[in-house]
């Protein structure tokens, strides 16, 4: 991903990709490091958010962490201390460098569906019961679905506590987004 | 008499939503759901079970499956 920064953009502009001078993104070697870094930074009380990489540097289904630029030095120090230094720190100075939202929400009438990366969770609006969990293709998805379907959002176990794969992580992001709704 | 839900060609979560709508209508004791992927088959049977429905039969039909669920 590091080598892609010199690439020219296509000139297309995504609506959600508005530039923000006070935010930056942290780029890592792989998704596993993103997950670890998010955990370290949230534990330290940092206001960070996992997002999709901006179009300018996208390569596949990678993830990046958006953070307040003013905290750059402290954050990078914390990540070095945790042995997960970022490959690059990029200020969001141009629209094509703005990270994109990982979430897509769809209204199915009596149901809401939230997709985060490759995982979807669907909830009945009436009583917030989880009616479907799908996506991914990881071996633990049927287990996650079995544990969550039929329970309400508040009663269901957290995917992050059950899952062992990137699908479990993505499902947890979708679950959190659903809780925010 | 059974209600038939044709969810072939639909992606998740639509087969589940259509099945739940048929369950909610409470019109017939038996509901037949037609799906065309393994994922839809699993999702529909799981959702039906969570609503107290019994998966009576799952059989191949064409390029997919015919799922029969019954109330109680």
Q: Which of A62, A97, A132 is the last residue of a domain?
A: A97
- Among candidates A113, A146, A150 on the partner chain, residue whose Cβ is nearest the Cβ of B13: A113
Q: Tell me: the pLDDT tens digits for A39-63?
A: 999 999 999 988 888 877 765 557 8
pLDDT score for A52: 83
Could you tell me if A176 and A153 lie in one domain? Answer: yes
Tokens 């989880």 map to which residue?
A: A130
DSSP-assigned letters across all residues of A119-148: EEEEEETTT-BEEEEEE---TTHHHHHHHH
The whole-angstrom distance between A134's CA and the closest CA on chain B is 7
List of chain A residues whose C-beta atoms are within 8 Å of the C-beta of residue B14: 108
Q: Say whether A142 and B42 touch across the interface (CB within 8 A).
A: yes
Q: Chain B: nearest CA to A112, how far in angstroms?
A: 10
Query: Which of A132, A146, A150 is the closest to B13 by Cβ?
Result: A132
For chain B, the domains span 2-58
Contact at CB, B20 and A113, closer than 8 angstroms = no
Å from B65 to nearest chain A CA? 18
Pair A12, A76 in one domain = yes
Give the Cα separation of A133 and A76 in Å (integer): 36
Mean pLDDT of chain A: 83
Question: Which of these three, A68, A97, A126, is where a domain ends?
Answer: A97
- The vertex-A35 CA angle with A151 and A6, nearest 5°, equals 130
Q: Which of A19, A177, A33, A30 is closest to A105 using CA atoms?
A: A177
pLDDT digits (tens, 9 = 90+) for A74-108: 999 999 999 999 999 988 887 767 777 788 999 99
Check whether residue A46 and residue A25 sit in a common domain: yes
Same domain, A109 and A168: yes
- Measured between beta carbons, the chain B residues lying within 8 angstroms of A132 are 12-13, 16-17, 43, 47
Average pLDDT (A63-77) is 93
Of A108, A145, A146, the CB nearest to B17: A108
CA dihedral A29, A32, A38, A41 (to 10 degrees): -70
Q: What ipTM describes this predicted complex?
A: 0.83
Closest CA relative to residue A110, chosen from A95, A127, A134: A127
Same domain, A127 and A93: no
Please state the CATH superfamily assignment of the domain spanning residues B2-58 in this structure.
Answer: TusA-like domain (3.30.110.40)
Burial category of A170 from C-beta neighbours within 10 Å (exposed 0-12, middle 13-18, buried 19 and up): buried
The domain boundary residue, chosen from A49, A76, A97: A97
Contact B43 A145 (CB under 8 A): yes
Q: How many CB pairs under 8 A join A and B?
A: 44
Quick one: A92 and A114 in the same domain? Answer: no
A10 and A77 together in one domain: yes
Domain region containing A82:
2-97
**Claim to verify: residue A17 and residue A63 sit in the same structural domain:** yes
Mean pLDDT value across chain B: 93
Looking at the structure of chain A, the number of domains it has is 2
Would the pTM count as exceeding 0.80?
no
CATH number of residue A31's parent domain: 3.30.70
Of A110, A142, A149, the CB nearest to B47: A149
Residue A133 sits in the same domain as residue A89: no
Domain co-membership, A67 together with A126 = no
Are A173 and A121 within 8 A, CB to CB?
no
Return the structure tokens found at A146.
Answer: 């079995």
> Same domain, yes or no, for A146 and A72?
no
- Indicate whether A175 and A107 sit together in one domain: yes
């Amino acid at each position: 991903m590091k080598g892609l920064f010199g690439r020219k953009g296509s000139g297309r502009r995504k609506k959600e990709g508005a530039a923000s001078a006070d935010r930056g993104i942290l780029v890592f070697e792989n998704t596993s490091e993103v997950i670890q870094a998010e955990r370290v930074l949230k534990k330290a009380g940092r206001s960070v958010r996992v997002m999709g990489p901006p179009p300018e540097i996208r390569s596949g289904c990678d993830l990046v962490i958006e953070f307040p630029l003013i905290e750059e030095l402290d954050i990078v120090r914390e990540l070095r201390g945790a042995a997960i230094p970022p490959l690059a720190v990029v200020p969001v100075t141009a629209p094509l460098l703005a990270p994109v939202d990982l979430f897509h929400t769809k209204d199915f009438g009596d149901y809401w569906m939230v997709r985060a990366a490759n995982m979807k969770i669907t909830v009945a609006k009436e009583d917030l019961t989880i009616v479907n969990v799908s996506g991914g293709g990881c071996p633990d998805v049927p287990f996650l679905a079995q544990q969550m379907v039929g329970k309400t959002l508040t009663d269901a176990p957290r995917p992050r506590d059950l899952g062992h794969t990137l699908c479990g992580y993505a499902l947890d992001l979708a679950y959190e987004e659903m809780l925010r709704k | 008499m059974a209600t038939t839900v044709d969810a072939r060609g639909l992606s998740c979560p639509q087969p589940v939503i259509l099945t739940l709508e048929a369950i909610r209508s409470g019109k017939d004791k038996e509901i037949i759901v037609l799906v065309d992927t393994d994922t839809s088959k699993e999702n529909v049977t799981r959702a039906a079970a969570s609503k107290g429905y019994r998966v009576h039969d799952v059989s191949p039909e064409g390029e997919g499956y015919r799922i029969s669920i019954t109330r109680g």
